[in-house]
Homo-oligomer: A and B are copies of this chain.
Amino acid sequence: MESGGVIISTKPNQPEPLTMGAQVKDRLEEPVAEKNQERLFDYPDPTPHPHSPPHVTISMPSTPTGLNAEAMRNGFFGGDERLSAVHGFRDKRFDSFKTWSGRLERQISGFRGRTHDVEDEDRNSPKGEHTAAPPVARYFDALHGPELDKLKPLEHSVLPEDKLWPFLLRFPISSFGICLGVSSQAILWKTLATSPPTMFLHVTQFVNFALWCTALALTLCVSTTYAMKVVFYFEAVRREYYHPVRVNFFFAPWIACLFLCIGIPPSITDKLPSELWYVLMAPIFGLELKIYGQWMSGGERRLSKVANPSNHLAIVGNFVGALLGASMGLKEGPIFFFSVGLAHYIVLFVTLYQRLPTNETLPKELHPVFFLFVAAPSVAGVAWATIHGHFDTVSRIAYFIAMFLYASLVVRINFFRGVRFSLAWWAYTFPMTGAAIATIEYSAVVKNPFTQVLSLGLSAISTVTVTALLVSTIIHAFVLGDLFPNDLSIAIAEKPPRLSKRRINLICGTPERKKVDDDDE
């Protein structure tokens, strides 16, 4: 095991011994950069390791000093992963993330110990022996950007940065945002077609039907793909779950299902079985117990550390669930989720508004993620109206808060320039749709030209945004081919790179790495 850290990436067709999984896991826990520094002169190991003999050695560099992280980034390997697969070469650098690459019994014991690992994460991870997922502080140290998805300079990826990873590894949980965007559009067009204040538009219910079918197909598609990721790359899923921003997207699949239920075309069914509601709310309830508990019970995932607009995804499910339940005729269940949502929404709203000094990950520029602010109050208003049977003052308070926040974002619209497209944007469109739906509901009780124009305007903005995003997604998927870039946010090393401060200053020119060093001491 002593010499394995880098060798493994230079011998692609080395036969996999039975103990490989365990070895890779150990290797993963020893950051490569550090290892390189430690043994610049005793590498390559002249004595073959008894358990993993290097059968084939390809393009081993003559000077060992060249084989550092820097060199890995510059790329030894130009080959494509699919090519390797066809030719029988297997790139073992991804094995550490594969579920079935190691010994079966180890995996199974891993599955059994998982729940326990999650609970003990904060305590165990410093030891770094039993879990490969980095502690949450590492995510903040190693990543930047509003979605914490870009590697900071000097940080090292445990997966190769020079080549395209296997598709499943690059398929993030935020892909469910597409389902959110399209299924909420289905609801909007159902409302437009059936709601009294927009009846005069004579929108055909077919739009709702078509959008709903598309949303259903997309949800099935994304779910199947992500399920495959769970099966084949559990480690990657686990790292997404530990990612402080990405974890909130684990609510997205269930919210998408709730949206599908709400937007179901009247031609299919008018009445869904109430059992469905319980089935869909169960995982949301479970996730909430987990996530909110982490916020409160402290440790590295306390709310004051992980506060980010994407937390709204963890809140909005309550209101969407309350809305669906109330529209099904349930009463206590919806009020339960409404209450839980309300309590935690107040906490989150205050926390995000305060912008605590500890929360430094949010960028100064306004980012589409800010639109999530609009989601919770607009859905909450409609949910309360559905629970109570009419759009009363409480509904209006929630709706007006949403409208103010919307206006507050729209006047800052020029900040959106120069933001890199990301799949996660899809999740940021449903709040616009929600605001449009809430406005239509509101204009049903306060019918005047202003509310009608507002309904149409917000609906148009929402549909145009979704269309624009659809076009962008298609362009990125089929023209540019970069819809699913390497998901570096799951590939951060468990420990920070150990470099002398002098070298850091030479490379970066800024004391940006200061924080990481401080955390080490």
Which A residues lie at the B interface, using CB under 8 A? Answer: 119, 122-123, 288-289, 292-293, 295-299, 302-305, 307, 332, 335-336, 338-340, 342-344, 346-347, 349-358, 362, 364, 366, 370, 373, 387-388, 393, 396-401, 403-404, 407-408, 411-412, 414-415, 446
Known: A358-B357, A396-B339, A397-B342. A350 touches B352 (CB 8 A): no
Contact between chains at A302 and B354 (CB < 8 Å): yes
Name the B residues within 8 Å of A340 (CB-CB).
400-401, 404
A352 to chain B, nearest CB (A): 7
A393 to chain B, nearest CB (A): 6
Given contacts A303-B354, A305-B357, 19 further A-B contacts (CB under 8 A): A288-B404, A295-B353, A296-B355, A296-B408, A297-B412, A298-B362, A302-B354, A302-B355, A304-B355, A335-B397, A339-B396, A339-B398, A339-B400, A342-B397, A342-B401, A347-B349, A347-B353, A356-B356, A387-B393
Q: How far is the CA of A387 from the CA of B396 in the complex (A)?
A: 13
Q: How far is the CA of A357 from the CA of B346 in the complex (A)?
A: 19
Q: Is the interface of A mostly helix, strand, loop or mixed?
A: helix
Name the B residues within 8 Å of A411 (CB-CB).
289, 293
Q: How far is the CA of A451 from the CA of B353 in the complex (A)?
A: 38
Contact check: which of B122, B288, B350, B387 meets A347 at CB < 8 Å? B350
A136 to chain B, nearest CB (A): 13
Q: How far is the CA of A226 from the CA of B210 in the complex (A)?
A: 60
Contact check: which of B343, B346, B352 meets A296 at CB < 8 Å? B352
The 5 nearest A-B residue pairs measured at CB: A339-B400, A302-B355, A339-B397, A347-B353, A336-B400
Known: A336-B400, A350-B347. A364 touches B298 (CB 8 A): yes
Name the B residues within 8 Å of A305 (CB-CB).
357
Contact between chains at A297 and B354 (CB < 8 Å): no
Known: A298-B364, A412-B297. A397 touches B338 (CB 8 A): yes
Residue of B whose beta carbon sits closest to that of A362: B298
Name the B residues within 8 Å of A292 (CB-CB).
408
Contact check: which of B332, B344, B388 meets A446 at CB < 8 Å? B332
Contact between chains at B364 and A123 (CB < 8 Å): yes
Name the B residues within 8 Å of A295 (CB-CB).
353, 355
